[in-house]
Amino acid sequence: MEEFVLAGDLGGTNLRVAAVDVTGRLLFRAEADTPRCSDGRKIVETAADLANQCREKLGSDPRAFGFAIPAIMAAEQGRIFSSPNLPELAGYELADSLRSQLGLTVILENDANAAAIGEYWLGASKGARTSICVTLGTGVGGGMIINGELHSGPDGTAGEVGHICVEPLGPPCGCGSNGCLEQFSSASAIVRMARELIDEYPDSALVSTEGFDALQVFRYGMEGDPLCVEVFRRAGAYLGIALAGLINVLNPEAIVIGGGAADGWDLFIESTRSEIKKRAFLEPAERARIVRASLGSDAGIVGVAFLAFQKSGRVGRSNTL
């Protein structure tokens, strides 16, 4: 049996675990709804159950378990500071609990950092020594690769692109600030903005759509619904404001945009590029390739699989971030 690791990705809606080989190929995957409770115990139980499904399917033991989670954390210590969209994780000893359940080495990483690693290893930013990965999902995450190394900072909190303030008087954010990018360019923000603007567009299809979600806003937008088109234009503009600042500071070769809300690419990317052109220095703005993530929802899983192989000594120096 070929060597493999287990790699998990915890989202606000789904929890996924896959068996991954050393080339990044997914051998088997299992999925469940993300459980909600007052602490992280049910998350551990669900992750362990999915991991054991993968073990049983492959009939052998993995080298390690990597887990991508939506949290501000010190990955090396496995310490979680906060998780605005899954607050039950704050302070919870997630890594220790998973080790106890699975009997494996457990590596935790912020989900956007994991996606950045995945895209750098096998995806859209492969070959770019300095790149930024932005994930547009329930929230907005970010990960930075600088000179071929993941940059997470001394506290492990670098790369929180979603909590760049783009509108000082904007709506409150789960992080405690106001007007963060997450409040304008995430899937949940798209729904909120559509609700705020709906009275201005009485002919919009959303007026007669009860309890609509971001996917419906996207679908109507692709059909030309003016309200939905405007919501994505605004989301893209605020994203461009944030990215222009990052281009000026970091001079990246590539900016990779992924996550579920990135499916609205055709509706927002023009306004994103327009804001970058207006706000960023000419040369670095022209250098930075703004591209869609190529690994889709598997980017985080591929990224933590790499880290799990790295931790177990299976990947060589030439593959090291």
Q: What is the pLDDT of residues 78-134, one digit of tens each?
A: 778 888 778 888 888 899 999 999 999 999 999 999 999 999 999 999 999 999 999
pLDDT tens digits, 228-263: 999 999 999 999 999 999 999 999 999 999 999 999
Q: How is residue 145 written in tokens?
A: 């690769």
Strands (E), the chain: 4-10, 14-21, 26-33, 65-69, 72-74, 79-82, 106-110, 131-136, 140-146, 149-150, 254-258, 289-292
Q: Across-strand partners of 257?
A: 134, 292
Compute the half-sphere exposure of residue 34: CA atoms within 13 Å on the CB side of its CA: 18
Q: What is the pTM of this model?
A: 0.90
